[in-house]
Amino acid sequence: MQFSLSRFAKEHRYKVESYESVDSTNRVALAKAQDDEDRLWIVSDEQTAGRARRGRQWSSPKGDLYASLLLTRNIAPENAAELGFVAGVSLAEAVKNVLAHNRVASDIVTLKWPNDMLLKDAKASGILLELQHLPQSRYAVVVGIGVNIIHVYKDAPYATEAVGNMGVKTNSADVFELLSTCWAENYDLYLSPNGREIIRNKWLGYAAHLGEELTITGNSRVIKGIFSGLDEKFNCIVTDCYGVETKVSAGDVHFGNVASLNAER
């Protein structure tokens, strides 16, 4: 399948390379960083060695969307993780547009901290960020996005869904073109004055289970409490039964029956 950028994305100096098959779109994008490429999308029909967070695999058969965006200009490593939230908002808006075009209620689209998009409380997408050091004290970041368009994974350790199961007619190329527009718009917002606050508020507008009990595991600790929001650095705020807040920068999140358990596809 040929993947194309929207006119808006092209006007904002984005480029795209379209592939039938790669081992990993993130790996291809990271290799392009050595050529000083910027605002380059790598998109493929399939991946033979797709990657997810914490070294996990991402099942990548034909028909779903596998896209990675390479950015190499003015990347600050301490803020790189925030781009995952720009990606989450952009993806949610793109899928919302697909649903609206097919007259399907868009409130089934939510975002689960830190890097998942859900449809009807089931995982439909994951986001993987990778940072690479470049010469002259510069950095590249790759924003990898995998979206279930037609496949649902019944053997996954958590519920999964696909955009195509929501009563819409679409494909990976259509979703990518919308995503290219939404990313370009939201990245411009993010780079603007007060941009982080704007993206944070947008993300919270899609937040799954805000105000509900959650458990976060990782780094040999377990944190339990109420999901109270995000701080200015997009850390998850967890409030315990005594009203004490803990800010968490990373971990696996579990919300009752829709928890991702201890693995992410």
Q: Give me the residue spans of the domains in the chain.
A: 7-206, 212-262
Digit-coded pLDDT (tens) for 134-163 = 999 999 999 999 999 999 988 888 899 999
Q: Are 82 and 114 in contact (CB under 8 A)?
A: no
Distance (Å, rounded) from C-alpha 117 to C-alpha 111?
Answer: 5
Helix, strand counts (H, E) of the chain: 5, 12
CATH architecture designation of domain 7-206: 2-Layer Sandwich (3.30)
Q: Percentage of the chain with pLDDT > 90?
A: 82
In this predicted structure, the answer to whether residue 124 has a pLDDT above a threshold of 50 is yes
Lowest-confidence region among 10-14, 51-55, 71-75, 257-261: 257-261
Distance (Å, rounded) from C-alpha 44 to C-alpha 60?
Answer: 10
**Amino acid in the structure at residue 179:** L
- Which residue is it, tokens 């908002």? 89
Distance (Å, rounded) from C-alpha 99 to C-alpha 183?
Answer: 18
pLDDT at 154: 81
In this predicted structure, the answer to whether residue 262 has a pLDDT above a threshold of 70 is no
In this predicted structure, the answer to whether residue 264 has a pLDDT above a threshold of 60 is no
CATH, domain 212-262, list 3.30.70.920, 1.10.1040.10, 1.10.10.2520, 2.30.30.100: 2.30.30.100
Looking at per-residue confidence, does 173 or 258 come out higher? 173
Q: Percentage of the chain with pLDDT > 70?
A: 92
Token pair of 45 as six digits: 């029909």
Question: Where does the pLDDT of residue 58 fall: very low under 50, low under 70, confident under 90, or very high at 90 and above?
Answer: low
CA–CA distances in Å: residue 53 to residues 12, 50, 126, 209, 212 = 29, 11, 9, 22, 24
pLDDT at 229: 97
Digit-coded pLDDT (tens) for 198-257 = 999 999 999 999 999 999 998 788 999 999 999 999 999 999 999 999 999 988 899 864
Question: Where does the pLDDT of residue 106 fall: very low under 50, low under 70, confident under 90, or very high at 90 and above?
Answer: confident
Summary mean pLDDT of the chain? 91
Q: Are 55 and 80 in contact (CB under 8 A)?
A: no
Q: Is 111 exposed, middle or buried (0-12, 13-18, 19+ CB in 10 A)?
A: buried
pLDDT at 265: 33
Lowest-confidence region among 13-17, 123-127, 240-244, 251-255: 251-255
Distance (Å, rounded) from C-alpha 73 to C-alpha 215?
Answer: 36
